[in-house]
Amino acid sequence: MAYKFEELEVWKRALDYADKIHDIAEDLPKHERYNLADQMTRAANSIALNIAEGSTGQSDAEQDRFLRIAIRSLLETVASLHLVKRRDYLNDSEPLREAYRESETLFAKLQAFRASLDSDASVREPPTEYDENDPF
């Protein structure tokens, strides 16, 4: 029996993206091994892990929460790509370009997945009513 998340295209793409990020991290200088490389691989792993965790019989609101975390992790990896480029850590920028293009597709898929959830089920705080006499 397959788990629900194993059938999700977005999860499979997240795995592929994590592999790309890991490949880039392996090519970073040794002095970044326990800093930037670890940070970017943890963030990349977090994308797939949060998609999986959010898919386990949770409510749409709970699944949305995990997808939001996955998106934040994805953005963290994109920021890491910029740091790698800015610091000129790789001789070939093509892996960075490929990962960036994949990040755009993965971001769109995660957003579409979130949009497909019951929008009324998302966790929201009730609106705050302000008195007209309040200074703010």
Query: Domain limits of the chain?
Result: 4-116
Q: Which residue, among 9, 3, 15, has the nearest Cα to 48 in the 3D structure?
A: 15
Tell whether the torsion through CA atoms of 68, 72, 73 and 75 is positive or negative: positive
Name the percent of the chain lying above pLDDT 70. Answer: 85
Token pair in block for residue 15: 């795995």
66-96 confidence digits (pLDDT tens): 999 999 999 999 999 999 999 999 999 999 9
Q: How confident is the model at residue 118 (pLDDT cuts 50, 70, 90)?
A: confident
Does 135 score more than 80 pLDDT?
no
pTM for the full predicted model:
0.84
Count of Cβ atoms closer than 10 Å to residue 131 Cβ:
5
Q: How confident is the model at residue 122 (pLDDT cuts 50, 70, 90)?
A: very low
CATH code linked to domain 4-116: 1.20.1440.60
